[in-house]
Amino acid sequence: MFVAFEGVDGAGKSTQVRLLGEHLERNGREVVICREPGGTSLGEELRRILLDPGSGDLQPEVEVLLFMAARAQLCNKIIRPELQSGKAVISDRFLWSSVVYQGVVGGLGVEEVLSIGRVATRGLLPELTFLVDLDPAASHSGLDDGDRMESRGIEFQRRVRDGFLALAEEFKDSFILIDGGASIEQVHQQVLDALPKEQP
């Protein structure tokens, strides 16, 4: 079982990743939680560079290649081996983030980023992607003074949200749209209700 959570910064993805992991563990599953970028030594170093305001205005093509390098390492060292051992893997962001941030909002193109992503992941994609949808105006993440990605402002985040919603519409078979404006418990229940029935 491989699922990912996506959405704008501050939508509550990390909380829902943790709650789903706890639910699966209570029901007898071994669970591995990872985040993007990160999860490996290389990934964490690239995360530091990508999120550091001191890195300046990186161009979308630079961003996407750095994200993909971190993603390739995560797939090779963590996700694929853990899946092969029978564990459930829950990722806080995955390839769709690059598709939206650099492909849609950054202007590189959806198919172009997906093409690079297929190389980085060797075709590995989540079975399900939970899109925690929330108006950026309702986010409590401190978008104006956060990390380099968060500090791009509310209008940037709105374009990100629109990009995710467009992808969820185009790839309906793999996306589950979740109302992030509900309470934490209600959002969690939406996630549980959408899990494949053979899962606990």
Residue 200 lies in a domain: no
Domain of 28, in residue numbers: 2-194
Query: What string of H, E and C letters represents the secondary structure of 39-93?
Result: CCHHHHHHHHHHHCHHHCCCCHHHHHHHHHHHHHHHHHHHHHHHHHCCCEEEEEC
For tokens 């500090």, the residue is 151
In a domain, residue 20? The reply is: yes
Q: Is residue 87 predicted with pLDDT exceeding 70?
A: yes
- Give the pLDDT confidence of 17-72 residue by residue, as tens digits: 999 999 999 999 999 999 999 999 999 999 999 999 899 889 999 999 999 999 99
Positive or negative: CA dihedral 112, 58, 91, 129: negative
Residue 14 in any domain: the answer is yes
What is the C-alpha to C-alpha distance for residues 122 and 107, in angstroms, rounded to an integer?
Answer: 24
Q: How many domains does the chain have?
A: 1
- Note the pTM of the prediction, 2 decimals: 0.92
Task: Give per-residue pLDDT as tens, 98-157.
Answer: 999 999 999 999 999 999 999 999 999 999 999 999 999 887 554 455 676 767 788 999
Given a cut of 90, is residue 198 above it in pLDDT? Answer: no
CATH code for the domain in which residue 139 is found: 3.40.50.300
Residues across the chain: 200
pLDDT on residue 147: 72
Structural domain includes residue 199: no
Report the candidate in 196, 44, 200, 67 with the shortest Cα–Cα distance to residue 130: 196
| 166 within domain boundaries | yes
Q: Has residue 56 been placed in a domain?
A: yes
> Is residue 139 in some structural domain?
yes
